[in-house]
A and B are shown apart, each in its own frame.
Chain A
Amino acid sequence: MMAIPFAALVLGFLIVYFKAPAVPSNYADYVALAIVAGLDAFAGAGRNWLERRFDEAIFISGFFVNMLLAALLAYLGDKLGVNLYLAVVVALGIRIFNNLGHSRALLVSMRVEARRARTAAPSE
């Protein structure tokens, strides 16, 4: 089942990479920021999935709204002459790391529990 979304990711990349013109350079930063926001949504979704509380409505709304907000915030910062771009990158970066860290901890603890259950079962 995971193969379909993954194939879509690769397909989207390839189509746009070879067909689309380049983004005007003054918007390239916003696109980059939107991508980071998208990655953040993915990291969050992965964690939620592991915690068995994944909800596609939250995921999809989070994906698009965060992307838009991240780009808008950076744009606003540029208009005001404050480097809000950095604030967004730092905030999203921390969130991504947090979510990845939680996911890892969860995966490890799941494995440890599974092993404990396996070793405990025969002795009883």
Chain B
Amino acid sequence: MSQSFSSHTLRSSLRVAGPRKEIWIASLGCLLGSTLLLLAVQLYQDGNAFLKESEGPRNYFTLNKKIEGGAIVNLGKSDQSFDPAEIDRIKKLEGVRRVGGFTRNRFPLTLYIWPSGKVGLGAAAKTDLFFESIPDEFLDFVPEEWQWDDNSSTVPIMVPKFYLDLWNFGLAPSRVEYPALSTEAATGMPIELYIGKTGEVRLMGRFVAFSKRINSVLVPESFLKSANEKYGQADANDFFFLWKNGAIEGPPISRSSLASMEGEEGFDDWEVSPLENPAERAPASETLQGEAKPEEPSRIILEVADNPSDSFLALVRERGYEINREFPEQDLIKKAMLALFLGIGGIGALLSLLSIATFATSFRLVVTQASEQTGNLLLLGFSREEVGQVFLTRFLRLFLWVLGGAILAGYACKWILVEQALRFGVDLNPGVSLATLTFVSAYALLFLFVNKRVIKNSVEDLVP
């Protein structure tokens, strides 16, 4: 026995107008909801990929040991540096990607900044200052001028962006001789650097960039290394308490100062003790014969994945470190992106759910309106699957159009967003990813499953 009917005739027998208005509303809701869902999923991926490619979801922190007590206590210059074992321990903590030490200058430094743009013209801002350097990979960007060698005539300097803000909105308005400065004007200012206690060495410098990440006055590592070698006090980090006749004599003195006293009367009876443990006295002559304390960073910069891990924070608490979380832009962007994703995705999901419900109701109505014809077909011996398939095909045809429209609309919106993002220097992939298409397929299957079930149940009950 062979199949007699044609699918066309079967479809024709069940052709009813259906609730057109409801189906239109459901289609429109489905189109909007699907487009928003698709966009939310795609933009979330794009945002993550962009952050990973450019800066990545990383955060930077500087870490130092806490300075406690007043000026008198700290005149002793107790040791605040990180030894290699401490740095190694920090490197191994969960989430820590890289660790870099700050190198500081070991010589007195005075700056004369000429806001007029010319040395000797107008008033100069004079300040005693310090320099630090960090490995270039920790900078938020490396300016072209960020190079120095012995033949360079100018020392490039990078200061925090908010220093310029402090100048413009704090210092300049309070002093008639200091003008407000744009970034361009600030980078054009000549800066005289006087090195040494009496300013015996004079170099020229210039601000080349303003960092949003590093809260310090930075110069290239090559310059600081060379300057420390040439002008630095070798023992700038190596101080002692000097003991004479069982009592501390004056403020702490450096190893070189101690060496210069070696010939003085009674030197052999003098004692010295380390700043961190004044009770641990030793003869001054023995200490001079020992090795000088190696140079170690007192501040370190860390790159961590996302937010600091619990183990990292536990160590900070345990050791009494101070954490200086600088400009967590990535974190903010990530949160904003998540909020955007949840917002768009939430509205899209709500619209989609409503459209699923409207579609289901509409197709239940379609089956009801064709109930007489459907019942007659079942009485002729057609199976419920054969009859249900007619309604399902009708639904599928409409749904695929809507879904195709949503993919096109999503693609078009993405294209427009990509064009807009390019204006802000953000380069996004214009396409729709495989993951998004997989999500859309899963979503389509859910939509299909719900409506197939509704149609099946509606057909089921028409004939015993």
Real binding pair: no
Instruction: Report A's interface with B, CB cutoff 8 A.
Output: none
